[in-house]
């Protein structure tokens, strides 16, 4: 656990009891309830053998106020092992207090602890909030490009 007495935020590894709160925070932010999705994530990133998968929460006065999820990915199209962050959330009530930055720093520490020196993420270009956040943490466009196409029936 990492205590930050100045902001009274405790960053810790998620536990099974955090599931309901994570579902709530995500639904509040996205407008979509995804209980099955988060149950599956908890099965692989919280319960049992997590391997190099990380699910951290920010706790304030005993209440989970945010979370970040990531993992080490390796060798996709030649990519050397790197940390991937694929979810981050901070309750809208308490944003702009540096909680997201603390969560991000904590997961980067996890990556560095296993000798990984690169962190990546993939954000919609229609999501300026998260784009700006990761830019503010020092991320910039990497050497890979996300491509997609619609699959016709």
Partner 1 sequence: MRLQKSSLFGLYALLELASAPNAQLSTSEIAEKYGISPHHLAKVMMTLVRAGLAQSVRGVGGGYRFTGNASRVTLSDVIELFEPIGSGHDFADNNAALETPVGLALQNVRDEIDELAKATLKSITLKTLLRSAEKLDLTQGAIRVGGD
The answer to whether residue 87 forms part of the interface with partner 1 (CB under 8 A) is no
Distance between CA atoms of 28 and 58, rounded to whole angstroms? 17
Q: Can residue 101 be called a binding residue for partner 1 (CB under 8 A)?
A: no
- Stretch of residues binding partner 1 (CB under 8 A), selected from 23-31, 35-43, 61-69, 127-135: 127-135
Q: How far apart are CA 18 and CA 8, in angstroms?
A: 19
Report the nearest approach of partner 1 to the CB of residue 148 (Å): 11
Interaction of residue 125 with partner 1, rule CB under 8 A: yes
Contact 45, 53 (CB under 8 A): yes
Report d(CA 103, CA 22) in Å as an integer: 14
Q: In the complex, what is the shortest distance from the CB of residue 147 to partner 1, in angstroms, rounded to a whole number?
A: 10
Sign of the torsion angle spanned by Cα atoms 45, 16, 123, 149? positive
| Under rule CB under 8 A, residue 120 binds partner 1 | no
Residue 128 lies near partner 1 (rule: CB under 8 A): yes
Residue 105 touches partner 1, criterion: CB under 8 A: no
Do 104 and 59 meet the contact criterion of CB atoms below 8 Å apart?
no
Burial tier of 115 (Cβ tally within 10 Å: 0-12, 13-18, 19+): exposed
Q: Which residue, 14 or 100, is less far from partner 1 as judged by CB? A: 100
Residue 135 is a binding residue for partner 1 (CB under 8 A) = yes
* Stretch of 10-18, 29-37, 64-72, 135-143 contacting partner 1, by CB under 8 A: 135-143
Can you tell me whether residue 75 is helix, strand or coil?
A: coil
Q: How far is the CB of 95 from partner 1 (least distance, A)?
A: 12
Q: Contact residues for partner 1 (CB under 8 A)?
A: 125-126, 128, 131-132, 135-136, 138, 141
């Amino acid at each position: 656990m990492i205590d930050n007495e100045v902001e009274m935020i405790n960053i810790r590894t998620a536990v099974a009891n955090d599931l309901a709160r994570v579902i709530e925070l995500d639904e509040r932010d996205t407008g979509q309830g995804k209980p099955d999705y988060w149950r599956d994530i908890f099965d692989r990133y919280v319960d049992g053998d997590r391997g190099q998968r990380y699910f951290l929460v920010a706790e304030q006065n005993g209440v989970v106020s945010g979370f970040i999820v990531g993992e080490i990915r390796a060798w996709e199209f030649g990519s050397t092992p790197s940390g991937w962050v694929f979810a981050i959330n901070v309750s809208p009530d308490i944003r702009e207090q540096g909680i997201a930055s603390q969560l991000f720093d904590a997961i980067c520490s996890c990556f560095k602890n296993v000798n990984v020196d690169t962190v990546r993420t993939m954000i919609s270009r229609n999501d300026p909030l998260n784009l700006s956040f990761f830019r503010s943490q020092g991320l910039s466009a990497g050497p890979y490009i996300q491509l997609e196409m619609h699959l016709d029936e």
